[in-house]
Chain A
Amino acid sequence: MNLIFETSVPGRGCSILPECDVSVPDLPETFSRKKAPRLPQLSENDISRHYTALAGRTHGVNNGFYPLGSCTMKYNPKINEELASLPGFTAIHPLQPEHTVQGAMQVLFQAEQALCEITGMDAMTFQPAAGAHGEFTGLLLIKAYHKHRGDQKRTKIIVPDSAHGTNPASATMAGFTVVSIPSQEDGCVDLEKLKAAVGDDTAGLMLTNPNTVGLFDKNILEITRIVHDAGGLNYYDGANLNAVMGVSRPGDMGFDVVHLNLHKTFSTPHGGGGPGSGPVGCKSLLAPFLPGPVVKKQQNRYHFEKPEHSIGQVKSFYGNFTVVVKALSYILTLGAEGIREAAQNAVLNANYMMKKLDDLYTIAYQERCMHEFVMSLEPLKKETGISAMDIAKGLLDNGIHPPTMYFPLIVHEALMVEPTETESKETLDEAIEVFRRLYETAKTDPQSLHEAPHHTAVRRLDEVGAARNPKLRYLF
């Protein structure tokens, strides 16, 4: 397939703007561009066909099952897309006077109320644009909190070795030293190791619950208590909230600050890598430090306010606003019962799939899982040479997006499966069938899996070459 620059024909173009209706003054040479950018020259038909071809080589949730562990690839409702496209939302400037954007401020206010109720928090900011951005923000809140108390010693953040890579990376960005604690055999936090790691230099702990192997850590109250007793705060990575929303709340588990991934739990679409939204909620002890401005309501009017000891801003304006509109629409649709129903069925679907595969595949943790479960392909690899990568490639030939591979790091040859609640039993049964067939193929015809995928547009890319000799743009 051609690159858009290869489809370009000099002299071709679209007629978008009229001629200028005022005279164009001269711009001094010193400010002028010497060479024009080499942008494509295409007709609108060319553009339409080019992107249709690209869409045909893209796998969306609309194309098939997407059981990516830790990503919550649930169905993206179309009503959310429509409502987020209303001119009343898309055509308003962020710096319009407050009395002309009361509706937008209402969206932020209501979303804050709903999400605080769901998470057990007291206040929230929508400024962070993604989960990692939210982590960074939440950690800055913790940092500001200790500094405000005059406690300069708290320089360490404790992170389990099972954590998502963004956790330690965010802690480093926030200026903390990361203390990594090894997980127990069952993937849960080792209480003894945690007790040994906390001290008066502990700023806080970052944790996901259910954890990154899909298990609910039953010691959660003890864990958060240990950290609180040592003078630290508890940060909740909300990536796995889909397992417990409406059933349990991080605020009731002892967490002081959370981030949410609206593009996971709250059904906003992934867009091929973004935009997401990573709102940060906190208990009232951290509210004065939130980035600003935040929306407040007084006598039915909304206004912006900068929190008293705000950490500043983590991006311009108020966050990915239209993503928040989509999430709010979703929450309004589901309501109290629907939110709980979603979590319950996410957990049911995951346990069902796990049960139907556990006679063949090695399930890493032999107990009730939450919304996702982890398989280890290590035994199969030892026996047949077929790895997690090979099974994943085999799935591609069956139109199923592979599960998350090689994460979390504490399981070797990991495949992490998260079906979500929006998949039907028939889809699950079909996927189970495919997984079972691939297992048999691993035993009877491993070579075909080593050479998989066979039916995709491209196969087994040279990633080493791509990294050694980076070609990161088209060269004319």
Chain B
Amino acid sequence: MNVPKELLYTKSHEWVKKLDDGSVLVGLSDKAQSDLGDLVFVNLPAVGDSFAAEDTLCDVESVKAVSDVYAPVNGTVTEVNEILLDTPEAINKDPYGTWIAKLTDVSGLEDLLDADAYIAVCEEE
């Protein structure tokens, strides 16, 4: 299972990438995309909306199911990855290279899991 060391993770299988300016990118882990199966649609969050950690950020659809994506940290959405509107399968093909949303005014990073801790969580499941 692919778990890049430089990223941070949540128990609900989101990954977080810290950017130089303090903002973060959020995406779904390899395990998440594998469990979900072929994605057919991503309901992107609205730019400008603010979330607390563990709030539902948005959801993704496969043919037979819908799954929530949870905000990994507190923050406000400043950008969303519009390529997902036409190619939701990008998350399946390249989960760590395909971000969903960018959050700024971020806090709560300290509660995230590092790669090893995340691997442990996955093994327990």
Q: Which residues of chain A have a CB within 8 Å of any CB of chain B?
A: 406, 463-464, 467-468
B64 and A468 contact, CB distance less than 8 A: no
Minimum C-beta distance from B58 to chain A (A): 17
B64 touches A464 (CB 8 A): no
- Assembly CA distance A406 to B62 (angstroms): 15
Chain B stretch 7-48: residues in CB contact (< 8 A) with chain A? 38, 40-41
14 CB < 8 A contacts A-B: A406-B64, A463-B63, A464-B38, A464-B40, A464-B62, A464-B63, A467-B40, A467-B41, A467-B61, A467-B63, A468-B40, A468-B41, A468-B88, A468-B89
- Which 3 pairs between the two chains have the least Cβ-Cβ distance? A467-B40, A464-B38, A463-B63
Shortest C-beta distance, A107 to chain B (Å), equals 41
Q: How many inter-chain contacts with C-beta < 8 Å in the A-B complex?
A: 14
CB-defined contacts of A468 to chain B, threshold 8 Å: 40-41, 88-89
Mark out the residues of chain B between 58 and 96 whose CB falls within 8 Å of any chain A CB in the assembled complex.
Answer: 61-64, 88-89
Q: How far is the CA of A467 from the CA of B64 in the complex (A)?
A: 10
With both beta carbons as reference points, the residue of chain B lying nearest to A463 in the complex is identified as B63
Tell me which residues across on chain A come within 8 A of B62, comparing CB atoms: 464
Provide the residues of chain A in CB contact with B40, threshold 8 Å: 464, 467-468
Interfacial chain A residues near B38, Cβ < 8 Å: 464
How distant is A180 from chain B, measured CB to nearest CB, in Å?
Answer: 14
Once the chains are docked, how many angstroms separate the CA of A463 from the CA of B64? 9
| CA gap between A406 and B65 in the complex, in Å | 12
Residues facing A in B80-125 (CB within 8 A) are 88-89
Q: What's the least CB distance linking A388 to chain B, in Å?
A: 12
A464 vs B89: C-alpha distance when bound (angstroms): 10
Task: Give the complex CA separation of A468 and B88 in angstroms.
Answer: 8
Give the residues in chain A near B41, CB-CB below 8 Å: 467-468
Q: How many whole Å from B8's CB to the nearest CB in chain A?
A: 30
Chain A, Cβ-Cβ closest to B41: A467
> Measured between alpha carbons, how far is A467 from B89 in the docked complex, in Å?
11
A406, B63: Cα distance in complex, Å = 13
Task: Please indicate the chain B residues that have their CB under 8 angstroms from the CB of A467 in the complex.
Answer: 40-41, 61, 63
Complex Cα–Cα for A463 and B61 (A): 13
> Contacts A468-B88, A468-B89 given; 8 further ones with Cβ under 8 A?
A406-B64, A463-B63, A464-B38, A464-B62, A464-B63, A467-B61, A468-B40, A468-B41
Complex contacts, B88 vs chain A, CB 8 Å: 468
A409 to chain B minimum Cβ distance, whole angstroms, is 10
**Bound-state Cα–Cα, A440 to B61, Å:** 35
Assembled-state Cα–Cα distance A334/B41 (Å):
49
Contacts of B64 in A (CB 8 A): 406
Which B-chain residue is minimally distant from A467 (CB atoms)?
A: B40
* Chain A residues whose CB sits within 8 angstroms of the CB of B63 once the complex forms: 463-464, 467
From B40, B61, B62, residue with most partner A Cβ within 10 Å: B40
Query: What is the CA–CA distance of A409 and B38 in the complex, to the nearest angstrom?
Result: 20
Q: How far is the CB of A316 from chain B (nearest CB, A)?
A: 32
Closest to B64 in A: A406
Chain B contacts of A463 at CB under 8 A?
Answer: 63
B89 CB contacts on chain A under 8 angstroms:
468
Bound complex: CA A228 to CA B64 (Å)? 37
> What separation, in Å, do the CA atoms of A390 and B39 have in the docked complex?
22
Q: Closest CB of chain B to A370's CB: distance in Å? A: 27
How many Å lie between the Cα of A468 and that of B62 in the bound state?
9
Task: Give, as a whole number of angstroms, the nearest-CB distance from A296 to chain B.
Answer: 45
- Residues of B contacting A464 in the complex (Cβ-Cβ under 8 angstroms): 38, 40, 62-63
CB contacts (< 8 Å) of A406 on chain B: these are 64
Q: A406's closest neighbor in chain B, by CB?
A: B64
In the complex formed, the residue of B with least CB distance to A464 is B38
**CB-defined contacts of B61 to chain A, threshold 8 Å:** 467
